[in-house]
Amino acid sequence: MIGIIGAMEVEIAHLRDQMQDTRVETVSGIDFYCGRIRGREVVLAKCGIGKVFAALCAQTMILKFGVECIVNSGVAGTLTSELHIGDVAIATACVQHDMDTSPLGDPYGLLSGINVVELPADQTMVQALDRVCREAGVNHRLGPVATGDQFVHTMERRRWISDTFGAVAVEMEAGAIAHVCYVNRVPFAVIRVISDEASGEAQIDYASFVKKAAATSSDIALRWLAA
Ligand code: SAH
């Protein structure tokens, strides 16, 4: 069974529309939709906003539904001049930009205990998504995706995150899903379509483009399932 997580209704609606033989189970307030999409067994969930909801959703998918891998599909702010609204970021790794024990001499983003900053995405899934994006003809980049419990909307914070982690996109859930997958040794991948520039008019852009960006991300996920 493949796990697919979106943070918001708009990020899972199209995928759920394509699901057949759907049954729903609710755990910890999250609805898990089990069924077949493009002939593949899938459990699909809207986790909610931020790292804690994302982590509990991923852990539930692993423990209760025994997923073999997890894909996180959704929207993000861009951190690079190479990605604009509607373009696609495929994570090579995830980092948590708000994890900060640097006053103790640690590097920014260090996940103490497992002692890594970057949580690598599954290479095979990344390559498959890269291929899907190329075939779909969308402008896309592979690179680290940065996660934190904040909507990034200033050039100062955007620059700090991209300079510190070399990340191409910023959002609020992928790094938590990656963290859960890492400690459980479950392969994961992240598809994020740009909804805003993470600076300047980010709030306005986000409101205007979130729906379209989420639909593009779902389309990439559907193509990947069918491949
Ligand atoms: N109360 C709002 C919160 C949305 S937060 C709601 O419930 O709809 C924005 C969402 O889009 C998060 O899930 C995050 O992963 C993603 N996102 C898009 N642009 C972002 C940005 N510039 N910074 C951080 N997250 C962003």
Instruction: Give the C-alpha distances (Å, rounded to integers) separating 6 from 47, 75, 177, 201.
Output: 6, 9, 11, 24
For ligand 1, the distance from its centroid to the CA atom of residue 224, given in whole angstroms, is 24
Domain 2-226 architecture: 3-Layer(aba) Sandwich (3.40)
Select which of 11, 87, 118, 171 is catalytic: 11
CA–CA distance, 5 with 58 (Å, rounded to integer): 8
For ligand 1, the distance from its centroid to the CA atom of residue 160, given in whole angstroms, is 18
Taking only the tens of pLDDT, the chain with its 227 residues reads 999 999 999 999 999 999 999 999 999 999 999 999 999 999 999 999 999 999 999 999 999 999 999 999 999 999 999 999 999 999 999 999 999 999 999 999 999 999 999 999 999 999 999 999 999 999 999 999 999 999 999 999 999 999 999 999 999 999 999 999 999 999 999 999 999 999 999 999 999 999 999 999 999 999 999 99
**Domain map (residue ranges) of the chain:** 2-226
